[in-house]
Structure 1
Amino acid sequence: MVARRRLGRGLDGLLPAAPPPSERPSKNNAAIEELHPGRMQPRVRIDAEALAELAASIREHGVLEPILVRKRSLGGFEIIAGERRWRAAQQAGLKEVPIFVHDLDDEKAFEAALVENLQREDLNPMETARAFQRLVDDFGYTQETIASKVGKERSTVANALRLLKLPEDVAGLIEGGQLSEGHGRALLSAPSVSTMKKLAHSAVSKGWSVREAERQARRAARGDDAPSKKKSSAKSANVRDLERRLSRALGSTTTIHESGKERGQIRINYASFDELDRLIEKLT
Structure 2
Amino acid sequence: MGLNPPPSPQKRALGRGLSALIPQAASIPVPVSGELKDKGITRLPIESVRRDTAQPRKSFDDEKLKELAESIRAQGVIQPVLVRKDGKGGYVLIAGERRWRAAQLAGLKEIPALVRDVSEAEAFQIALVENLQRADLNPLEEADGYRRLVEEFKLTQEQVAQRVGKDRTTVANALRLLALPDPVKAMVRDGSLSPGHARALLGVPRIPEMVDLARRISEKKLSVREAERLVKDQKSPGAAVGSKRPTAQQKALVEELQRLLGTKVRLVEKGGGKGTLEIEFYSYDDLDRLLKLWRR
Structure 1 and Structure 2 fold alike (TM over 0.5): yes
What does residue range 129-208 of structure 1 map to in structure 2 within 5 Å? 129-208=143-222
Question: What residue is the counterpart of 1:266 in the other structure?
Answer: none
1:145–1:102: structure 2 CA closer, same or farther, 3 Å change rule? Answer: same
1:13 to 2:19 alignment = yes
Distance 1:109 1:73 in 2: 14
Sequence identity, in percent? 49
The question of whether the paired residues in 1 share the 8 Å contact of 2:160 and 2:171 is answered with yes
**Corresponding position of 2:135:** 121
Which digits, 9 at most, give the CA deviation of each residue in 1:34-89, with x for residues without a partner?
11111342111111111111111111111100001111023311111111111111
Give me the whole-angstrom Cα distance separating, in 2, the residues matched to 1:41 and 1:17: 19
Contact 1:40 1:113 in 2 (8 A): no
Q: Which residue matches 2:122? A: 108
**For this pair of structures, how many residues does the alignment match?**
215
Matched, 1:95 2:101: no
Q: CA RMSD in A?
A: 2.8
Alignment of 1:1-284 (within 5 A): 13-15=19-21, 26-222=40-236
Task: Tell me which amino acid in the other structure corresponds to 1:157.
Answer: V
Cα pair 2:44 2:112 within 8 Å, conserved = yes
Q: Could you say if the C-alpha distance between residues 53 and 10 of structure 1 is closer, same or farther in structure 2, counting changes exceeding 3 Å?
A: farther
Q: Which runs of 4+ in 1 moved over 4 A?
A: 9-12
Q: How many Å separate the matches in 2 of 1:90 and 1:134?
A: 29
Report SS of the residue matched to 1:157: helix
Offset, 1:12? 6.3
Alignment partners' CA distance in 2, 1:90 and 1:76: 17
1:142 and 1:154, CA in 2 relative to 1: closer, same or farther beyond 3 A? same
Letter in 2 for 1:153: D
Larger Rg, first or second structure (1 or 2): 1
TM-score normalised by length of structure 1: 0.69
TM-score w.r.t. length of structure 2: 0.66
Specify every segment of 5 or more residues in structure 2 that has no aligned partner in the other structure, as ranges. Answer: 1-14, 25-36, 246-296
- 1:14 deviates by 4.4
Deviation string for 1:186-215 (max 9, x for gaps)?
Answer: 111222211221111112222122122211
